[in-house]
Structure 1
Amino acid sequence: MRALISDVHGNLEALDAVENQTAGLEIICLGDVVCYGPDSIECVRRSGSWHSVVAGPLDTSMLDHRPDQWSPTINATIQRLRKRFSDSPDARELFETIASYQSEFTSNGILHFHGVPGNVRDWIFPEEIYCGKKLDRIANHSQHAFIGGGSHIPGIFRRNQSNWEFTTPQNGKTYDLPTDEKTIVTLGSVGQPRDTDPRAAYAILDDTSITFHRVDYDIEKTRRKIEDDPDTENIHGARLPGGR
Protein backbone atom coordinates (compact mmCIF):
# COMPACT_ATOMS: atom_id res chain seq x y z
CA MET A 1 0.00 0.00 0.00
CA ARG A 2 1.01 3.59 -0.64
CA ALA A 3 -0.24 6.95 0.58
CA LEU A 4 -1.36 9.41 -2.09
CA ILE A 5 -1.30 13.15 -1.43
CA SER A 6 -1.56 16.27 -3.54
CA ASP A 7 -1.60 20.06 -3.34
CA VAL A 8 0.17 20.51 -0.02
CA HIS A 9 0.65 24.21 -0.78
CA GLY A 10 3.04 24.99 2.03
CA ASN A 11 0.62 23.92 4.77
CA LEU A 12 2.90 22.20 7.26
CA GLU A 13 0.25 21.58 9.91
CA ALA A 14 -1.94 19.74 7.41
CA LEU A 15 1.06 17.79 6.10
CA ASP A 16 2.07 16.80 9.64
CA ALA A 17 -1.42 15.44 10.28
CA VAL A 18 -1.38 13.39 7.08
CA GLU A 19 2.14 12.06 7.63
CA ASN A 20 1.19 11.01 11.17
CA GLN A 21 -1.76 9.05 9.74
CA THR A 22 0.34 7.41 7.01
CA ALA A 23 3.50 6.62 8.98
CA GLY A 24 5.38 3.67 7.51
CA LEU A 25 3.83 3.97 4.05
CA GLU A 26 5.55 5.19 0.91
CA ILE A 27 4.19 8.55 -0.18
CA ILE A 28 3.36 9.54 -3.73
CA CYS A 29 2.65 13.25 -4.12
CA LEU A 30 0.87 14.66 -7.16
CA GLY A 31 2.35 18.10 -7.03
CA ASP A 32 2.04 21.71 -5.93
CA VAL A 33 4.00 21.25 -2.74
CA VAL A 34 4.61 25.02 -2.62
CA CYS A 35 2.81 28.40 -2.52
CA TYR A 36 -0.30 29.72 -0.71
CA GLY A 37 0.83 28.43 2.70
CA PRO A 38 3.54 29.77 5.00
CA ASP A 39 5.88 26.74 5.05
CA SER A 40 6.74 25.89 1.45
CA ILE A 41 10.43 25.46 2.21
CA GLU A 42 9.89 22.92 4.97
CA CYS A 43 7.34 21.05 2.86
CA VAL A 44 9.88 20.76 0.02
CA ARG A 45 12.44 19.47 2.51
CA ARG A 46 9.96 16.79 3.60
CA SER A 47 9.28 15.84 -0.02
CA GLY A 48 12.86 14.70 -0.47
CA SER A 49 12.06 11.55 1.53
CA TRP A 50 8.89 10.61 -0.38
CA HIS A 51 8.76 7.74 -2.85
CA SER A 52 7.78 9.90 -5.80
CA VAL A 53 6.68 13.47 -6.45
CA VAL A 54 4.95 14.57 -9.64
CA ALA A 55 5.61 18.24 -10.33
CA GLY A 56 2.78 20.74 -10.28
CA PRO A 57 2.99 24.09 -12.08
CA LEU A 58 3.75 26.04 -8.92
CA ASP A 59 6.59 23.67 -8.11
CA THR A 60 8.20 24.16 -11.53
CA SER A 61 7.73 27.93 -11.23
CA MET A 62 10.38 27.86 -8.51
CA LEU A 63 12.85 26.75 -11.19
CA ASP A 64 11.47 28.47 -14.27
CA HIS A 65 9.10 31.34 -13.60
CA ARG A 66 7.03 32.31 -16.64
CA PRO A 67 5.02 35.43 -15.74
CA ASP A 68 2.73 35.12 -18.77
CA GLN A 69 1.21 31.98 -17.22
CA TRP A 70 0.03 33.62 -13.99
CA SER A 71 -2.02 36.52 -12.70
CA PRO A 72 -0.14 39.55 -11.31
CA THR A 73 -0.99 38.51 -7.75
CA ILE A 74 0.33 34.97 -8.14
CA ASN A 75 3.37 36.27 -10.02
CA ALA A 76 4.22 38.43 -7.02
CA THR A 77 3.78 35.44 -4.69
CA ILE A 78 6.06 33.29 -6.85
CA GLN A 79 8.74 35.98 -6.98
CA ARG A 80 8.72 36.41 -3.20
CA LEU A 81 8.87 32.66 -2.64
CA ARG A 82 11.69 32.17 -5.14
CA LYS A 83 13.69 34.75 -3.20
CA ARG A 84 13.03 32.90 0.04
CA PHE A 85 14.25 29.67 -1.50
CA SER A 86 17.35 31.41 -2.89
CA ASP A 87 18.12 33.00 0.50
CA SER A 88 17.75 29.72 2.40
CA PRO A 89 21.04 28.19 3.65
CA ASP A 90 20.10 24.92 1.90
CA ALA A 91 18.97 26.64 -1.32
CA ARG A 92 20.94 24.28 -3.54
CA GLU A 93 19.38 21.20 -1.98
CA LEU A 94 15.90 22.73 -2.17
CA PHE A 95 16.17 23.49 -5.88
CA GLU A 96 17.69 20.06 -6.55
CA THR A 97 14.78 18.42 -4.75
CA ILE A 98 12.24 20.28 -6.88
CA ALA A 99 14.23 19.49 -10.02
CA SER A 100 13.96 15.79 -9.14
CA TYR A 101 10.16 15.87 -9.30
CA GLN A 102 8.79 13.78 -12.17
CA SER A 103 6.40 14.78 -14.94
CA GLU A 104 4.30 11.66 -14.27
CA PHE A 105 4.42 8.36 -12.41
CA THR A 106 3.01 5.02 -13.55
CA SER A 107 2.62 1.86 -11.47
CA ASN A 108 0.45 -1.24 -11.95
CA GLY A 109 -1.42 0.27 -14.87
CA ILE A 110 -2.27 3.46 -12.94
CA LEU A 111 -1.04 6.82 -14.23
CA HIS A 112 -0.40 9.54 -11.63
CA PHE A 113 -0.29 13.12 -12.85
CA HIS A 114 -0.93 16.71 -11.83
CA GLY A 115 -3.76 18.16 -13.90
CA VAL A 116 -4.51 16.18 -17.04
CA PRO A 117 -2.07 14.36 -19.34
CA GLY A 118 -0.14 16.90 -21.36
CA ASN A 119 -1.39 19.91 -19.40
CA VAL A 120 -0.64 20.41 -15.70
CA ARG A 121 -2.77 23.57 -15.75
CA ASP A 122 -6.00 21.87 -16.85
CA TRP A 123 -7.80 20.18 -13.99
CA ILE A 124 -10.67 17.74 -13.57
CA PHE A 125 -13.70 19.05 -11.67
CA PRO A 126 -16.96 17.22 -10.83
CA GLU A 127 -18.80 19.05 -13.60
CA GLU A 128 -16.52 17.34 -16.13
CA ILE A 129 -18.98 14.44 -15.88
CA TYR A 130 -20.79 16.24 -18.70
CA CYS A 131 -17.62 16.31 -20.84
CA GLY A 132 -17.40 12.68 -21.89
CA LYS A 133 -14.95 13.28 -24.71
CA LYS A 134 -12.50 15.00 -22.37
CA LEU A 135 -12.79 12.17 -19.84
CA ASP A 136 -12.27 9.61 -22.60
CA ARG A 137 -9.06 11.37 -23.69
CA ILE A 138 -7.76 11.42 -20.12
CA ALA A 139 -8.67 7.79 -19.42
CA ASN A 140 -7.05 6.54 -22.59
CA HIS A 141 -3.63 7.65 -21.33
CA SER A 142 -3.65 4.91 -18.69
CA GLN A 143 -4.12 1.16 -18.76
CA HIS A 144 -7.14 1.25 -16.46
CA ALA A 145 -6.90 4.12 -13.95
CA PHE A 146 -5.76 7.72 -13.88
CA ILE A 147 -5.17 9.61 -10.62
CA GLY A 148 -4.74 13.37 -10.77
CA GLY A 149 -4.20 16.36 -8.55
CA GLY A 150 -4.76 20.07 -9.00
CA SER A 151 -8.53 20.40 -8.66
CA HIS A 152 -8.44 20.33 -4.83
CA ILE A 153 -11.72 18.34 -4.95
CA PRO A 154 -11.79 14.54 -4.43
CA GLY A 155 -13.85 12.52 -6.88
CA ILE A 156 -14.21 9.29 -8.81
CA PHE A 157 -15.29 9.07 -12.44
CA ARG A 158 -16.14 5.63 -13.85
CA ARG A 159 -16.82 4.74 -17.46
CA ASN A 160 -19.69 2.28 -17.70
CA GLN A 161 -19.69 1.20 -21.33
CA SER A 162 -19.96 4.58 -23.10
CA ASN A 163 -21.28 6.60 -20.15
CA TRP A 164 -19.41 8.27 -17.29
CA GLU A 165 -20.64 8.34 -13.70
CA PHE A 166 -19.33 10.55 -10.87
CA THR A 167 -19.06 9.67 -7.18
CA THR A 168 -18.11 11.95 -4.32
CA PRO A 169 -15.90 9.69 -2.18
CA GLN A 170 -16.76 9.21 1.47
CA ASN A 171 -14.25 9.46 4.29
CA GLY A 172 -12.83 6.04 5.13
CA LYS A 173 -14.60 4.25 2.28
CA THR A 174 -12.76 1.96 -0.12
CA TYR A 175 -13.49 2.01 -3.86
CA ASP A 176 -12.44 -0.67 -6.32
CA LEU A 177 -10.19 0.12 -9.28
CA PRO A 178 -11.16 -2.72 -11.62
CA THR A 179 -8.71 -3.50 -14.38
CA ASP A 180 -11.51 -4.08 -16.88
CA GLU A 181 -12.99 -0.57 -16.48
CA LYS A 182 -11.68 2.95 -16.95
CA THR A 183 -11.52 5.02 -13.75
CA ILE A 184 -10.41 8.60 -13.17
CA VAL A 185 -9.67 9.74 -9.61
CA THR A 186 -9.06 13.24 -8.30
CA LEU A 187 -7.38 13.26 -4.91
CA GLY A 188 -8.35 16.52 -3.29
CA SER A 189 -5.89 18.68 -1.38
CA VAL A 190 -3.80 18.32 1.75
CA GLY A 191 -3.32 22.01 2.36
CA GLN A 192 -6.03 23.91 0.44
CA PRO A 193 -9.26 21.86 0.16
CA ARG A 194 -11.98 23.30 -2.10
CA ASP A 195 -14.90 20.93 -1.41
CA THR A 196 -16.24 22.72 1.72
CA ASP A 197 -14.56 20.12 3.96
CA PRO A 198 -11.63 21.88 5.66
CA ARG A 199 -9.88 18.68 6.73
CA ALA A 200 -6.72 17.60 4.93
CA ALA A 201 -7.39 15.04 2.20
CA TYR A 202 -5.34 11.98 1.28
CA ALA A 203 -5.86 8.43 0.05
CA ILE A 204 -4.41 4.96 0.51
CA LEU A 205 -3.81 2.98 -2.68
CA ASP A 206 -3.24 -0.71 -3.24
CA ASP A 207 -3.21 -2.60 -6.52
CA THR A 208 -6.99 -2.94 -6.83
CA SER A 209 -8.61 -0.24 -4.66
CA ILE A 210 -8.31 3.24 -3.20
CA THR A 211 -9.50 4.46 0.21
CA PHE A 212 -10.16 8.15 0.81
CA HIS A 213 -9.41 9.83 4.12
CA ARG A 214 -9.80 13.21 5.78
CA VAL A 215 -7.90 14.31 8.88
CA ASP A 216 -8.27 17.29 11.18
CA TYR A 217 -5.35 19.62 11.77
CA ASP A 218 -4.71 22.95 13.51
CA ILE A 219 -6.27 25.24 10.92
CA GLU A 220 -6.13 28.28 13.18
CA LYS A 221 -2.39 27.89 13.63
CA THR A 222 -1.87 27.84 9.88
CA ARG A 223 -4.23 30.77 9.38
CA ARG A 224 -2.40 32.88 11.98
CA LYS A 225 0.95 32.05 10.39
CA ILE A 226 -0.35 33.23 7.03
CA GLU A 227 -1.66 36.46 8.57
CA ASP A 228 1.75 37.08 10.15
CA ASP A 229 3.61 36.35 6.90
CA PRO A 230 4.05 39.50 4.79
CA ASP A 231 4.82 37.40 1.71
CA THR A 232 1.60 35.35 1.79
CA GLU A 233 -1.84 36.61 0.76
CA ASN A 234 -4.33 36.50 3.67
CA ILE A 235 -7.02 34.97 1.46
CA HIS A 236 -5.17 31.67 1.53
CA GLY A 237 -5.64 31.50 5.28
CA ALA A 238 -9.12 32.99 5.43
CA ARG A 239 -10.52 30.31 3.12
CA LEU A 240 -9.15 27.36 5.14
CA PRO A 241 -11.93 27.06 7.80
CA GLY A 242 -14.60 26.77 5.10
CA GLY A 243 -12.64 24.47 2.81
CA ARG A 244 -13.10 26.90 -0.05
Structure 2
Amino acid sequence: MASVRLLLLSDIHANGVALQAVMKDAWTRKFDRVISLGDALGYGPRPREVLDTLRDLDATCILGNHEDMMLRLIHHPEVRGEGIVAQALEWQHGQLSKRDISELHQWTDGVDDPLVGARYRHGTPTSLDDYSDSVTSARDIFANWHGRLGFVGHTHVPGVYATLNAPVGEWIKYQAFQDGGSYMVPPAARVILNPGSVGQPRDGNPQASYAIFDTARHNFQVYRIAYDIAQTQAQIQAAGLPDVLGARLSIGK
Protein backbone atom coordinates (compact mmCIF):
# COMPACT_ATOMS: atom_id res chain seq x y z
CA MET A 1 0.00 0.00 0.00
CA ALA A 2 1.34 3.43 -0.90
CA SER A 3 1.92 5.81 1.99
CA VAL A 4 -0.93 8.32 2.04
CA ARG A 5 -2.35 10.66 4.65
CA LEU A 6 -6.10 10.99 4.15
CA LEU A 7 -7.96 13.99 5.52
CA LEU A 8 -11.43 12.69 6.38
CA LEU A 9 -14.34 15.12 6.60
CA SER A 10 -17.99 14.22 7.03
CA ASP A 11 -21.35 15.80 7.78
CA ILE A 12 -20.14 19.36 7.26
CA HIS A 13 -23.79 20.35 6.81
CA ALA A 14 -23.06 23.75 5.27
CA ASN A 15 -21.34 24.98 8.43
CA GLY A 16 -18.70 27.16 6.83
CA VAL A 17 -17.30 28.52 10.11
CA ALA A 18 -16.67 25.01 11.43
CA LEU A 19 -15.07 23.91 8.16
CA GLN A 20 -12.74 26.93 8.17
CA ALA A 21 -11.62 26.09 11.72
CA VAL A 22 -11.06 22.45 10.80
CA MET A 23 -9.02 23.32 7.73
CA LYS A 24 -6.90 25.84 9.65
CA ASP A 25 -5.97 23.00 12.00
CA ALA A 26 -5.64 20.32 9.34
CA TRP A 27 -3.15 22.32 7.27
CA THR A 28 -0.72 22.18 10.22
CA ARG A 29 -0.85 18.36 10.26
CA LYS A 30 -0.16 17.64 6.58
CA PHE A 31 -2.32 15.48 4.34
CA ASP A 32 -2.19 14.18 0.78
CA ARG A 33 -5.83 13.73 -0.15
CA VAL A 34 -9.23 14.88 1.08
CA ILE A 35 -12.28 12.63 1.35
CA SER A 36 -15.69 14.16 2.10
CA LEU A 37 -17.91 11.32 3.32
CA GLY A 38 -21.25 12.94 2.51
CA ASP A 39 -23.73 15.47 3.86
CA ALA A 40 -21.69 18.51 2.96
CA LEU A 41 -25.13 20.10 2.48
CA GLY A 42 -28.24 20.20 4.66
CA TYR A 43 -29.13 22.15 7.82
CA GLY A 44 -26.55 24.96 7.68
CA PRO A 45 -26.25 28.52 6.35
CA ARG A 46 -23.21 28.37 4.03
CA PRO A 47 -23.74 25.71 1.33
CA ARG A 48 -21.87 27.50 -1.46
CA GLU A 49 -18.92 28.35 0.77
CA VAL A 50 -18.58 24.70 1.78
CA LEU A 51 -18.79 23.45 -1.81
CA ASP A 52 -16.24 26.06 -2.90
CA THR A 53 -13.84 24.85 -0.20
CA LEU A 54 -14.24 21.19 -1.17
CA ARG A 55 -13.67 22.13 -4.81
CA ASP A 56 -10.50 24.04 -3.92
CA LEU A 57 -9.27 21.01 -1.98
CA ASP A 58 -9.96 18.73 -4.96
CA ALA A 59 -11.83 16.53 -2.50
CA THR A 60 -13.30 13.17 -3.39
CA CYS A 61 -16.96 13.83 -2.54
CA ILE A 62 -19.24 10.98 -1.54
CA LEU A 63 -23.01 11.32 -1.87
CA GLY A 64 -24.78 11.69 1.47
CA ASN A 65 -28.47 11.33 2.21
CA HIS A 66 -28.87 15.13 2.24
CA GLU A 67 -27.29 15.44 -1.21
CA ASP A 68 -29.53 12.60 -2.36
CA MET A 69 -32.55 14.54 -1.08
CA MET A 70 -31.25 17.71 -2.73
CA LEU A 71 -31.04 15.96 -6.11
CA ARG A 72 -34.59 14.68 -5.71
CA LEU A 73 -35.69 18.23 -4.88
CA ILE A 74 -33.94 19.53 -8.01
CA HIS A 75 -35.55 16.93 -10.28
CA HIS A 76 -38.97 16.84 -8.60
CA PRO A 77 -39.62 20.31 -7.13
CA GLU A 78 -43.34 19.57 -7.09
CA VAL A 79 -42.78 16.98 -4.35
CA ARG A 80 -42.30 19.17 -1.33
CA GLY A 81 -40.96 17.62 1.84
CA GLU A 82 -41.87 18.62 5.36
CA GLY A 83 -39.89 19.53 8.46
CA ILE A 84 -36.61 21.30 9.06
CA VAL A 85 -34.61 19.06 6.71
CA ALA A 86 -36.79 19.97 3.73
CA GLN A 87 -36.91 23.63 4.74
CA ALA A 88 -33.13 23.87 4.89
CA LEU A 89 -32.61 22.04 1.61
CA GLU A 90 -35.14 24.21 -0.24
CA TRP A 91 -33.39 27.34 1.00
CA GLN A 92 -29.97 25.93 0.10
CA HIS A 93 -31.17 25.01 -3.40
CA GLY A 94 -31.76 28.69 -4.01
CA GLN A 95 -28.18 29.49 -2.96
CA LEU A 96 -26.41 27.02 -5.27
CA SER A 97 -24.90 27.95 -8.61
CA LYS A 98 -25.36 26.00 -11.85
CA ARG A 99 -21.79 24.76 -11.41
CA ASP A 100 -22.58 23.55 -7.88
CA ILE A 101 -25.60 21.61 -9.09
CA SER A 102 -23.72 20.16 -12.07
CA GLU A 103 -20.91 18.91 -9.82
CA LEU A 104 -23.37 17.57 -7.27
CA HIS A 105 -24.69 15.21 -9.95
CA GLN A 106 -21.20 13.74 -10.24
CA TRP A 107 -20.96 12.71 -6.58
CA THR A 108 -21.21 8.95 -6.23
CA ASP A 109 -22.82 6.69 -3.67
CA GLY A 110 -19.61 5.12 -2.43
CA VAL A 111 -16.12 4.74 -3.82
CA ASP A 112 -13.72 1.81 -3.64
CA ASP A 113 -10.14 3.06 -3.43
CA PRO A 114 -7.65 0.41 -4.60
CA LEU A 115 -4.66 2.57 -3.68
CA VAL A 116 -5.66 2.61 -0.02
CA GLY A 117 -7.63 -0.64 -0.03
CA ALA A 118 -10.66 1.15 1.40
CA ARG A 119 -14.31 1.83 0.75
CA TYR A 120 -15.74 5.31 1.31
CA ARG A 121 -19.50 5.56 1.79
CA HIS A 122 -21.83 7.77 3.78
CA GLY A 123 -23.92 5.45 5.92
CA THR A 124 -22.19 2.08 6.07
CA PRO A 125 -19.87 0.25 3.68
CA THR A 126 -23.02 -1.39 2.29
CA SER A 127 -25.55 1.48 2.37
CA LEU A 128 -25.95 5.19 1.72
CA ASP A 129 -28.39 5.82 4.56
CA ASP A 130 -28.23 2.96 7.05
CA TYR A 131 -26.31 3.70 10.25
CA SER A 132 -23.13 2.14 11.63
CA ASP A 133 -24.26 3.00 15.14
CA SER A 134 -24.18 -0.14 17.29
CA VAL A 135 -22.29 -3.38 17.75
CA THR A 136 -25.36 -5.18 16.40
CA SER A 137 -25.45 -3.09 13.22
CA ALA A 138 -21.68 -3.46 12.81
CA ARG A 139 -21.95 -7.23 13.10
CA ASP A 140 -24.51 -7.27 10.28
CA ILE A 141 -22.38 -4.97 8.15
CA PHE A 142 -19.25 -7.06 8.56
CA ALA A 143 -21.28 -10.16 7.66
CA ASN A 144 -22.29 -8.59 4.33
CA TRP A 145 -19.10 -6.69 3.51
CA HIS A 146 -15.75 -8.39 3.40
CA GLY A 147 -13.42 -5.43 2.97
CA ARG A 148 -10.81 -4.42 5.50
CA LEU A 149 -11.10 -0.61 5.71
CA GLY A 150 -14.44 1.19 5.60
CA PHE A 151 -14.72 4.95 6.11
CA VAL A 152 -18.22 6.26 6.85
CA GLY A 153 -20.09 9.20 8.38
CA HIS A 154 -23.83 9.77 8.94
CA THR A 155 -23.95 9.19 12.72
CA HIS A 156 -22.21 12.51 13.52
CA VAL A 157 -20.27 10.54 16.15
CA PRO A 158 -16.54 9.73 15.75
CA GLY A 159 -15.67 6.12 16.48
CA VAL A 160 -14.32 2.80 15.28
CA TYR A 161 -15.94 -0.63 15.01
CA ALA A 162 -13.33 -3.38 14.71
CA THR A 163 -13.42 -7.13 14.31
CA LEU A 164 -11.40 -9.33 16.64
CA ASN A 165 -10.61 -12.95 15.87
CA ALA A 166 -12.06 -15.35 18.43
CA PRO A 167 -12.74 -19.12 18.66
CA VAL A 168 -16.42 -18.50 17.87
CA GLY A 169 -15.66 -16.22 14.92
CA GLU A 170 -15.34 -12.46 14.71
CA TRP A 171 -16.08 -10.41 17.80
CA ILE A 172 -16.92 -6.71 17.42
CA LYS A 173 -15.36 -3.98 19.55
CA TYR A 174 -16.27 -0.28 19.59
CA GLN A 175 -14.16 2.73 20.55
CA ALA A 176 -15.53 6.28 20.77
CA PHE A 177 -13.57 9.52 20.38
CA GLN A 178 -15.63 12.16 22.17
CA ASP A 179 -12.50 14.16 23.00
CA GLY A 180 -10.42 13.03 20.03
CA GLY A 181 -7.79 10.32 20.11
CA SER A 182 -5.76 7.82 18.19
CA TYR A 183 -6.50 4.28 16.98
CA MET A 184 -3.98 1.87 15.49
CA VAL A 185 -5.67 -0.57 13.12
CA PRO A 186 -4.57 -4.10 14.12
CA PRO A 187 -2.97 -6.10 11.28
CA ALA A 188 -5.70 -8.75 11.08
CA ALA A 189 -8.70 -6.59 11.97
CA ARG A 190 -11.42 -5.29 9.71
CA VAL A 191 -12.63 -1.84 10.69
CA ILE A 192 -15.33 0.76 10.10
CA LEU A 193 -13.90 4.20 10.85
CA ASN A 194 -16.01 7.34 11.36
CA PRO A 195 -14.37 10.78 11.68
CA GLY A 196 -17.49 12.34 13.21
CA SER A 197 -19.16 15.53 12.06
CA VAL A 198 -17.47 18.79 11.10
CA GLY A 199 -20.63 20.88 11.21
CA GLN A 200 -23.09 19.29 13.61
CA PRO A 201 -21.53 16.94 16.22
CA ARG A 202 -24.01 14.77 18.13
CA ASP A 203 -21.93 13.09 20.83
CA GLY A 204 -22.33 15.82 23.44
CA ASN A 205 -19.12 17.59 22.45
CA PRO A 206 -19.95 20.66 20.33
CA GLN A 207 -16.43 20.90 18.92
CA ALA A 208 -16.02 20.10 15.21
CA SER A 209 -14.67 16.63 14.52
CA TYR A 210 -12.43 15.35 11.74
CA ALA A 211 -9.76 12.69 11.25
CA ILE A 212 -6.54 11.87 9.45
CA PHE A 213 -5.72 8.31 8.46
CA ASP A 214 -2.06 7.47 7.85
CA THR A 215 -1.81 4.38 5.64
CA ALA A 216 1.86 3.80 6.44
CA ARG A 217 1.29 3.74 10.19
CA HIS A 218 -2.26 2.30 9.99
CA ASN A 219 -3.22 5.12 12.35
CA PHE A 220 -6.63 6.81 12.58
CA GLN A 221 -6.39 10.10 14.47
CA VAL A 222 -9.51 12.06 15.46
CA TYR A 223 -9.24 15.76 16.25
CA ARG A 224 -11.83 17.97 18.01
CA ILE A 225 -11.64 21.64 17.10
CA ALA A 226 -13.36 24.59 18.76
CA TYR A 227 -15.01 27.09 16.43
CA ASP A 228 -17.19 30.21 16.70
CA ILE A 229 -20.57 28.56 17.20
CA ALA A 230 -22.26 31.93 17.82
CA GLN A 231 -21.21 33.08 14.34
CA THR A 232 -22.84 30.06 12.70
CA GLN A 233 -25.93 30.58 14.85
CA ALA A 234 -26.14 34.19 13.68
CA GLN A 235 -25.82 33.06 10.06
CA ILE A 236 -28.62 30.52 10.57
CA GLN A 237 -30.85 33.23 12.02
CA ALA A 238 -30.02 35.67 9.22
CA ALA A 239 -30.90 33.01 6.63
CA GLY A 240 -34.31 32.49 8.24
CA LEU A 241 -33.60 28.84 8.99
CA PRO A 242 -35.20 27.16 12.03
CA ASP A 243 -33.69 28.30 15.33
CA VAL A 244 -33.31 24.70 16.51
CA LEU A 245 -30.55 24.22 13.92
CA GLY A 246 -28.49 26.81 15.73
CA ALA A 247 -29.46 25.87 19.27
CA ARG A 248 -28.38 22.25 18.89
CA LEU A 249 -24.84 23.30 17.92
CA SER A 250 -24.17 24.63 21.43
CA ILE A 251 -24.82 21.26 23.06
CA GLY A 252 -23.47 18.92 20.42
CA LYS A 253 -26.74 17.07 19.95
Q: When the two structures are superposed, what TM-score results if normalisation uses the length of structure 1?
A: 0.87
Which residue number in structure 1 is paired with residue 14 of structure 2? 10
1: CA distance, partners of 2:87 / 2:208: 26
Distance 1:133 1:201 in 2: 25
Determine what percentage of the aligned residue pairs are the same residue. 26
Change (3 A) 1:83 1:132: closer
1:63-212 matches, cutoff 5 A: 63-65=71-73, 71-85=82-96, 91-107=97-113, 108-125=116-133, 128-131=134-137, 133-137=139-143, 140-142=145-147, 144-161=148-165, 162-169=170-177, 171-207=179-215, 208-212=218-222
**C-alpha RMSD of matched pairs (Å):** 2.1
Cα distance, 1:118 vs structure 2: 4.3
Q: Classify the secondary structure of the residue corresponding to 1:64.
A: helix
Q: Counterparts of 1:217 and 1:120 in 2: how far apart (Å)?
A: 29
Taking a change above 3 Å as real, the CA distance of residues 204 and 69 of structure 1, as seen in their structure-2 partners, is: farther
Amino acid at match of 1:150: H
Where does residue 61 of structure 1 map in the other structure?
69
SS at match of 2:209: strand
Q: Retained in 1: the 8 A contact 2:42–2:92? A: yes
Aligned equivalents of 2:125, 2:80: Cα separation in 1: 18
Which deviations, in whole Å up to 9, do the C-alpha atoms of 1:38-73 show, x marking residues without a partner? 101111121213331111121233322268896444
Structure 2 partner of 1:88: none
Runs of 4+ residues over 3 Å off in structure 1: 66-73, 130-133
After superposition, the C-alpha distances for 1:169-218 in whole angstroms (9 at most, x for unaligned) are 26453211234211111221000000000000000111111101010100
TM-score, normalised to structure 2's length?
0.84
**Aligned equivalent of 2:41:** 34
C-alpha distance 199-72 of structure 1, shift in aligned 2 (>3 A): closer
2:51 counterpart (44, 49, 52):
44
Task: Give the aligned length.
Answer: 234
